[in-house]
Amino acid sequence: MSFAVCIVAVAPVRIEPTHKSEMVTELLFLESVTVLERLQDFIKVKCHYDGYEGWCQQIQLVETAFLPETYGWHHQPINEVIINNQLTRVSMGTTWNDTSISLPPFDISFKEAKPPAHFDFTEQNIQRITRAFLGTPYLWGGKSVFGIDCSGFTQQVFKLFNIVLPRDAYQQAALGKSIGFLEEANCGDLAFFDNEEGHITHVGILFNTHTIIHASGYVKIDAIDAMGIISTLHSKRTHRLRLIKTFRE
């Protein structure tokens, strides 16, 4: 079995081994995978963090028998690392390793001071971390400050609290403890929304019982009531509330 590590800031993971194929998720810098298959310039991989599978461009990964240890996650919106003496900027939520690491032919060093292993799941921390993504453009399959989708946003935020969520909204909705009414929800609870067929298609993070932050067009703060999200900008309902889950112990 072969392993690989992402060596660029963000690497697309696609359904098929072609640049024209839909991007379903991304690998962040130093994210590790298992190599499943090879086809020309592409490698089929399985992400170690959430089990997602897809095709990556081979040149954006480095194969290795040694998987670097994760000491924490970058918690500033944009962070600087040095790869072979060249400055690279990586996203919030990217793996932070020790002060330096070698993945031949790449030598990597980190400019940011060691981050905490995780943050306490408090309202203050939830507000600070989620607001760091404000204005990030929506990108289907994205999970970085350079572009993100709704479930990528919730997954990356919860990662910084050492809470592992699966990649897609419907998968996240299957976890956690159900909250019966919006009035009982707390900051950090996840609100899920469905379409006309009843399928979960959207997720956001509640600030309180009347405000939610979510990725729709871009990461933004909107109003919410028992029926769903109301766009603050356009004063119209955009998403229908299906259920609320808490991940507090």
Q: Domain containing 61 — which CATH number?
A: 2.30.30.40
pLDDT of residue 118: 73
Number of domains within the chain = 2
200 and 139 assigned to the same domain: yes
87 and 144 assigned to the same domain: no
Domain of residue 223: give its range.
123-246
79 and 160 assigned to the same domain: no
The answer as to whether 153 is a domain residue is yes
Annotated catalytic residue 150: yes
- The single residue of 6, 47, 56, 150 carrying the catalytic annotation is 150
Say what the pTM is.
0.95
- The single residue of 6, 56, 75, 214 carrying the catalytic annotation is 214
- The single residue of 74, 75, 202, 239 carrying the catalytic annotation is 202
235 and 146 assigned to the same domain: yes
pLDDT of residue 119: 85
pLDDT of residue 72: 82
Amino acid at 241: L
Q: How many residues does the chain have?
A: 249
pLDDT of residue 99: 72
User: Mean pLDDT for each consecutive 10-residue tract of the chain (249 residues)?
Assistant: 93 98 97 95 97 97 86 87 94 85 90 74 96 98 98 97 96 97 97 96 98 98 97 94 94
Annotated catalytic residue 187: no
The answer as to whether 139 is a domain residue is yes
Which of these three, 75, 110, 145, is where a domain ends?
110
pLDDT of residue 98: 72
pLDDT of residue 218: 98
pLDDT of residue 69: 77
30 and 137 assigned to the same domain: no
- The domain that holds 158 is classified in CATH as 3.90.1720.10
Annotated catalytic residue 214: yes
The answer as to whether 118 is a domain residue is no
Distance (Å, rounded) from C-alpha 182 to C-alpha 87? 45
